[in-house]
Structure 1
Amino acid sequence: MLSYTGGIVLFAALLHASWNAMLHGNRDRFFSMAWMSSAIGLAATLLVLSMPSPARASWPYIVASGLVHIVYNVSLVRSYRRNDLALAYPIARGSSPLLVTLGAALFAHEAIGPLHGLGIAMISGGIIAIALQGRHVSRAGALAALATGATIALYTVIDGIGVRLSDGQPFSYTAWMFLSYWAMPVLFVARRGHAALWAPVRAEPLSIASSLAGGLVSIGAYGIVIWALQSGAMGAVSALRETSVVFAVLIGRMFLRETVSGARWLACVVVAAGSVCLGI
């Protein structure tokens, strides 16, 4: 992968970690996801009205990716009810680059060199080590995390193939795919009613503001990833994106005053070394 593209994807990883930090303090994840998705859906609507449409060949992938994203978001909200999700979720992020590499080889016939393969393995292994360090994940939690990782890998491979058929319209492709996020506030209202969505606007303005900001940052972060998937190996792009877990550790240490052990720092170094391997 070209160093320029790699640097842009690392910036996307930083954005990804940042919006997760914004949402860190929000207790009702379904409520937060509804408002975040509203911001994404509105931004996507404005973009599709001002940009040329992607090529017809990419439309089946846009639809498929949108549906998978809905499943992913619903599953994520449900998973947050598990006590060990904060521990298990990084396993999902760590396992997805390996699954993306396999999916890209099977469906896009991508070959990857030994050095890049080592980099992907180091990033995935380092992220999983960050999650598992000194803690125990239940079998159910681990299975849920791996299922989430499979979903992430699925939409990444779909988008990697689809954007290459978009006739050079990665951002238009991204916007059309993100229209599917309107489904989340609709599902929220169907489940809890209009009042549950609008009543907290005055009572919890900061929570809503962080969700809206997180949505806008999220669409930018994944738009960069889709742009990179046009030419970069899918597994390598996915691995660099998942370094967001390391950025989350750094943000937690610098701004939230969280304690970071020596072993966790070592795992971060392994992830960083894997990123270097992908940039060579």
Structure 2
Amino acid sequence: MLIDSVAFSFDLSRRAPAIQQPMATWLRVGAASALWILLWWAIVTLLHVPADFLPTPVSVVRKLFTMTYTVTGDGALWVHVGRSLYRFTLGFVLAVFIGVPLGFAMGYVRPLNNLVSPLFEFFRCIPPIAWAPFAMLWFGASIGAQVFVIFTAALPPILINAYKGIKLVDPGLINAARSLGAKPATMLLEVGLPSSLPVLIAGLRIGIANGWMALVGAEIIAGAGTHSGLGFLILVGQDTLQANLAIGAMVLIGAVGVGFDWLFLKLQKRMVRWA
């Protein structure tokens, strides 16, 4: 083992690919993105597609740039991006603070699992967007409605993976901790939580994607009552026949979602290097 580690430290030929791999990945992603953008531009230009049906990429980029210094609803483009991120963060954090402890408790205490599972199975089969009209009735066109919809979308994968993660802990580790006199809280925090991290983080990544998509839907359903958010911009683009505004907001939604997933993937690699 020592020889292998020394060889790895001094073998530059083995380290070079590891250093070059992120650059190659970015180049592939950039080339593929450029190809799709070029195809989009060619279809619109060669087929003479009307701008109100499908604008060119240049028109979309120009509209987004214009939105950075012009006011729509409650503010410029960055105000809408910030409001959507704020709503999403509140709903997602609420889902984490409820889903992770409840999932662990259900995996650790069988009577609690038997009590909660029937209600949860019913709850998770309802599409999150179906809660939007009720959220509007309960909370009005306020941040509470969007937060509630995000919570309903992000909670199921987080809770399920927390439950699965704690159930998949190696029984040998649990028996070893018991033999050393570990208390239940100690076994949960020092044995169960570290062992379940890979499964738990996978559930958090799914929860992020679900919550972000649900937020945009909730903002669209809320309509002009919110006056802010990326979903609101899509609605404005639809009502004013500005396809470049609607598509620009969709591009931003996708870019922010990809950014979330990329950051969380980096966090996962740092936290569970051993997995």
Q: What's the TM-score, normalizing by structure 1?
A: 0.27
Q: Which is bigger in relative contact order (C-alpha 8 A, separation at least 6)? A: 1
Q: Which has the larger radius of gyration?
A: 2
**TM-score, with normalisation over the residues of structure 2?**
0.27
